[in-house]
Amino acid sequence: MNIDVALQNQFELSKTLNNKLNVAQTASQQLSSQLKKLKQENQDATLNSMANNCKKPISNNYKLNNYKTLKGHFDKVSSCAWYPDNKHIVSSSQDGYLLVWDAVRGLKNNLVELDDPYIMGCDVSYNGQLVATGGLDNTCIVYKLSTEINNSGENNSGLLSILRDHKEYISDLSFLHKSSTQLITSSGDKSCILWDTSKGGYIRHFYGHLGDVLSLGVNKNDENNSNPNLFVTSSSDRLAMLWDIRDPLASRKYLVNPKFDSSEIEFFPDGNCFSCGCDDGSIKFFDIRCDGELSNYGIDKVRRYINSNSLQSSTSSSSPSYYNLNSSSHNMNTSSSINFDYQDQKSSVRSLHSNMQASIDNPGVLSLDFTKSGRLMFSSYAESTSVFVWDIISGEIVGSLNGHNGVISKVRVSPDGLGVATASRDETIKIWSV
């Protein structure tokens, strides 16, 4: 009898709790709908709609020159990062080496042989003395890696810390702004960790994503009342989250795309905005202050830019043959030869255009970065060998960086804003500037 009463009481309690839970869920949904409605009412403009007020539009033939091509790796270059002196670069590759480059002279200055070649990210500390790496072995390793070899010919590099606590691969990492001891890692175990390299252990875990955390970006602006403790993450749960390193829970959540993973994220230079790229090739631009989306940079504009440039290439390359073909000074054999060359040239252009189109059919965003002013955004895509340059305000592509023979895995702008480094799967790093 007592058992029956206990079971009855338990049933009544569970029923009461379920009713309260349903009421709370309904109230939460209503509040969410009200907040969404208020946001939509306050979002009376976008960057694109305000672009006409911009007094200095950027020309559509914006170009950067390729000053150096750094050759030395023997496999795909997975990542790169600038040293704070704006002169040196560190790169990681699947050949199992970290290389330090003099980006001005194009020379290799130092190297470290990695225990695991499958490195997915690397970054340099604020003092330029440490380099952190993370990859498929679930471990973040920090090296002392100077930019020069001393006069005795000895290597000034060495292992500093091995940071282990992630249960899955490390997808991305970054030192905090103006920090040489603290760094953040993101992982496939759905979490991020704040580490202290001086102590060789973690400070805090960050949980909240329901899928693999694929990328992170730290706020590198400590001016204009922005918070240098902020960082953002993107995940396969299709969300972007805003975090404060002092709080283990996310401050805000943003639905980036209802169907595709959020694959890449980067903070805007002013510390108040961030961009997030998705596996469908779209890039969303969010403002923390209004807690909403300001602009969208779609893959359709990339395709139109490719089509436009392919058409221009076709016209410019075929014009001389066309005029030669109609010149009366050529005999039949010469005319036939030119006609054959012209048709062959047109076929080559069509083939190139087809390859370019096919390369953008898998349009996932691989890397993002901004110029120091924030006016331009550089983006690279899966299976595309070009970096596209966006005008943030107008939302149009104003140029591209062409020259790599492989997919570009990482785009990084130097701290002083004067150089751009592109690391590619063609085993090279290219340095670009005005």
| Whole-model pTM over 0.75 | yes
Q: What is the DSSP letter of 176?
A: P
pLDDT at 329: 34
Q: Look at residue 420 and tell me whether its pLDDT is greater than 90.
A: yes
Q: Look at residue 234 and tell me whether its pLDDT is greater than 70.
A: yes
Integer distance in angstroms from the first to the last C-alpha of the chain? Answer: 87
Find the range with the poorest average confidence among 31-45, 185-199, 396-410: 31-45
Q: Look at residue 1 and tell me whether its pLDDT is greater than 80.
A: no
pLDDT at 284: 96
Q: Is residue 345 very low, low, confident or very high in pLDDT (cuts 50, 70, 90)?
A: very low
Helix, strand, coil distribution of the chain in percent, nearest 5: 25, 40, 40
Q: Look at residue 46 and tell me whether its pLDDT is greater than 60.
A: yes
Q: Is residue 151 very low, low, confident or very high in pLDDT (cuts 50, 70, 90)?
A: low
Q: Look at residue 297 and tell me whether its pLDDT is greater than 90.
A: yes
pLDDT at 150: 59
pLDDT at 434: 79
Residue range 92-115: average pLDDT? 93
- Can you spell out the DSSP letters for 288-337? TTTTEEEEEE-HHHHHHHHHHHHHHHHHHHHHHHHHHHT-TTS-HHHHHH
**Distant-in-sequence, close-in-space partners of 289: CB < 8 Å, separation ≥ 6:** 272
Q: What is the DSSP letter of 341?
A: H
CB burial string 206-236: b at 16+ within 10 A, e below: bebbeebbbbbbbbbbeeeebbbebbbbbbb
Q: Look at residue 251 and tell me whether its pLDDT is greater than 80.
A: yes
Q: Is residue 156 very low, low, confident or very high in pLDDT (cuts 50, 70, 90)?
A: low
Cβ atoms of 321 and 342 within 8 Å: the answer is yes
Average pLDDT of the chain, as a whole number = 84
We find that the CATH architecture of domain 65-298+365-433 is: 7 Propeller (2.130)
Find the range with the poorest average confidence among 126-135, 327-336, 348-357, 398-407: 327-336
Q: Is residue 343 very low, low, confident or very high in pLDDT (cuts 50, 70, 90)?
A: very low
Q: Is residue 153 very low, low, confident or very high in pLDDT (cuts 50, 70, 90)?
A: low
**Tokens standing for residue 183:** 């760094």
Distance of alpha carbon 229 from alpha carbon 245, whole angstroms: 6
- The single residue listed with the structure tokens 């869920």 is 25
Find the range with the poorest average confidence among 355-359, 376-380, 394-398: 355-359
pLDDT at 138: 94
Distance of alpha carbon 387 from alpha carbon 402, whole angstroms: 7
Type of residue numbered 384: S
Q: Where are the beta strands (DSSP E) in 130-219?
A: 130-135, 139-144, 158-164, 170-175, 182-187, 191-196, 201-207, 213-218
pLDDT at 256: 94
Single out the residue of 206, 213, 211, 198 nearest to residue 163, CA to CA: 198
pLDDT at 72: 93
The C-alpha angle 227, 193, 410, rounded to 5 degrees, equals 75
Residue with the bigger pLDDT between 264 and 10: it is 264
Integer-rounded Cα Rg, in Å, for the chain is 26
Query: Three-state DSSP class for 234?
Result: strand
Question: What tens digit of pLDDT does each residue of 300-325 get?
Answer: 999 899 888 765 554 444 433 322 32
Residue range 237-255: average pLDDT? 94
The domain segmentation of the chain, as residue ranges, is 65-298+365-433, 302-359
pLDDT at 51: 72
Cα-based torsion angle of the residue sequence 314, 315, 320, 325 in order, rounded to the nearest 10 degrees? 90
pLDDT at 22: 87
- Can you spell out the DSSP letters for 245-305? TT-SS-SEEEE--SSS-EEEEEE-TTSSEEEEEETTS-EEEEETTTTEEEEEE-HHHHHHH
Q: Is residue 269 very low, low, confident or very high in pLDDT (cuts 50, 70, 90)?
A: very high
